[in-house]
Structure 1
Amino acid sequence: MTSTAQLSERKTDRIRAAIGMRLMSVILFAVMNVVIKLAERHGAALGEILFFRQLGASFLIGGIVLAGPGWRSVATQRIGTHISRAVLGLAAMAFTFTTIVTLPLAEATTLGFTMPIFATILGALILHEPTGWHRWGAVLAGFAGVLIVAQPGSGHFPLWGAATGLLGALGTAGVSILLRQITRTESAMTVVFWFSTLSLLPLGICYALVARNHPVEVWLLLAGVGLIGGVAQLAMTSALGLGPVSVVVPMDYSSLLWATLFGWLIFGTLPAPTLWIGAPVIVGSGLYILWRERIRHINRLPEPVQ
């Protein structure tokens, strides 16, 4: 019989693995953002970048499914829900990629941290989740942090770039709401497979309209967006399967360090001083929302039988 100590050690190992996988996904997504920015600067259109991002993910997921459990493992009875998730996910990705090519990496990354704020709002409006003054206070604080970072009227950076960043975070929050419904019956692999596959048709049409001839280095950058993004997505999904959300998701905030480092080393840009004031406010509000959600979840658990 397995001892309590052995069970505890296995649980600890899984949490360490979850944190490691999430941190790896954070680094890979940061590298992907650099490659996206480089591809756009060398002449690639946004439609091309989006197409190759999903094409690379489709090849990776398809190869894993084919080499492992087989196509039956990704069969679904909820294709309509997957289509809705694909539409919303593509819109969020398009807004996010636009922000990446428009703003400095650190600022673009920080605006993405507003996702938990929007998830709280959507959860209250759509799912009618009880949301007390603690989380509404965190929402207001988070938007105050956005104002500090964006500095409306100062000309610090294009406000439409800030708008696309917030719309991308809003779309990602909408996807998280949909995923709460889908993952009750579908595995993570099934969700990722259908998102990648269903994206290819509209993105293929878009690609046909904007495709250009490129030097070899640009094709390599586009291929890198797909492959790096696909591996990052798998690492992120695996982390959620290994550890609780409350432990795994806070690792995402480390992406600001990588965005700042890569922005300085590769693009010669450093964040404005106000980012270091606004970013902690946004990050703090997101962490507080996550903590309150964990408390609410614990309070919902049934009392153990004595």
Structure 2
Amino acid sequence: MGSGDHQHVARAIGLRLTSAALFAGMSALIKLAEAEGATLAEIMFWRQFIATLLVLAIVGVGPGFGSLATQRLGAHILRCTLGLASMTLNFATVMLLQLAEATTLGFSMPIFATILGAFILHEPTGWRRWAAVFAGFVGVMIVTQPGSGHIPPLGVATGLGAALLSAIVSILLRTIGKTESGLTTVFWFSALSLVPLGAIYPFFAQAHDARGWGTLLAIGLLGGAAQIAMTRSLHLGQVSVVVPMDYTALLWATLLGALLFDRLPTPATWIGAPLIIASGLYIVWREHRRRAEETRLAMTPG
């Protein structure tokens, strides 16, 4: 690996760490916005509206608006529909649960991606990855403790639903990413989502003080910047290198939960989260090994 490759990997890791921190900060701001009286519809509208403006500004001083042209509008509409549903469930989870618990449930996404890859894409999935999937679900059971009243059942349902939809989106993005740049993908997701969000926003719009408006604008800035950094990281580094950085979000969620809301993760979360994280890391590692083996066999002279 040359020095240029090392620089790309370092930048990819740095961008992914940045996106994890920004997403955690956005989640904390969502809880603050809710405490200040903002509704879910308002939060989502401003998240996407500000993100769209941010992408347009970056594109305007960079590759130019012509780079946003697409021949795959249908794929972007499908991605927007699924992504908006996932975002709705994710934001609802943040509003229902503690930051650390909401973040931990989000880590189940690789588990669902493995299941979907096996049954929809017919990807080879050996017993080791199935064992990792099982371990991950054990971790989810430990964190949520079904039937105990430990965590609101609705929050568990929205959290796992968001993770499932995110897994579906990740599979869809594999195909979109073959022809579309990261900024183009983020732009169309943000811009298209403003159509339904803009239609319902007037029914939920409220007056806010300066602090409330500032919080809503900050949610959009952090969310948009996090999404751009996350997408860009995948263009500079392999999935197996950058995705493990996402788990640092739990550290930020724990810190922000303690500082802003005086809440620490429960003992069950401390026990179950490592299982979920270990499951996700192993799944990513096995996927990397599988693709590396496929590439080696493809390059071996027959």
TM bin, normalised by shorter chain, reads over 0.9
Once residues 179 and 187 of structure 1 are traced to their aligned partners in structure 2, the CA distance between those partners, rounded to angstroms, is 11
Once residues 241 and 153 of structure 2 are traced to their aligned partners in structure 1, the CA distance between those partners, rounded to angstroms, is 33
Does the Cα contact within 8 Å between 2:20 and 2:246 map onto a contact in 1?
A: yes
Aligned to 2:25: 31
Aligned-residue offset at 1:104: 0.4
| Alignment-mate amino acid for residue 143 of structure 1 | F
| Alignment-mate amino acid for residue 299 of structure 2 | E
Is 1:47 the counterpart of 2:41? The answer is: yes
Q: Which runs of 5+ in 2 are unaligned?
A: none
Aligned-residue offset at 1:151: 0.8
Aligned to 2:54: 60
Aligned to 1:79: 73
Identity of aligned residues (%): 58
Is 1:127 the counterpart of 2:114? The answer is: no
Q: Secondary structure at the match of 1:44?
A: coil
Is 1:149 the counterpart of 2:143? The answer is: yes
Is 1:96 the counterpart of 2:100? The answer is: no
Q: Does 119-128 or 48-57 show the bigger shift? A: 119-128
Aligned-residue offset at 1:207: 1.0
Is 1:117 the counterpart of 2:111? The answer is: yes
Q: 1:205 aligns with which of 199, 203, 208?
A: 199
Once residues 300 and 25 of structure 2 are traced to their aligned partners in structure 1, the CA distance between those partners, rounded to angstroms, is 46
Is 1:183 the counterpart of 2:177? The answer is: yes
TM-score, structure 2 as length reference: 0.97
| Alignment-mate amino acid for residue 253 of structure 2 | A
Aligned-residue offset at 1:18: 1.1
Cα RMSD for the two superposed structures: 1.3
Q: 2:165 aligns with which of 171, 182, 188?
A: 171
| Alignment-mate amino acid for residue 248 of structure 2 | S
Stretches of 4+ aligned residues off by more than 6 angstroms: none
Once residues 253 and 32 of structure 1 are traced to their aligned partners in structure 2, the CA distance between those partners, rounded to angstroms, is 16
Deviations 1:219-257 (A, max 9, x none): 110001001111111111221121111111100001111
Is 1:232 the counterpart of 2:226? The answer is: yes
Q: Secondary structure at the match of 2:2?
A: helix
Does the Cα contact within 8 Å between 2:16 and 2:230 map onto a contact in 1?
A: yes
Q: Which runs of 5+ in 1 are unaligned?
A: 1-6
Aligned-residue offset at 1:304: 4.9
Aligned to 1:138: 132
Q: Secondary structure at the match of 1:269?
A: coil
Aligned to 1:3: none
Once residues 250 and 77 of structure 1 are traced to their aligned partners in structure 2, the CA distance between those partners, rounded to angstroms, is 32
Q: Secondary structure at the match of 1:274?
A: helix
Q: Equivalent residues in 2 for 1:271-286 (5 A)?
A: 271-286=265-280
Aligned to 2:291: 297
Aligned to 2:216: 222
Aligned to 2:9: 15
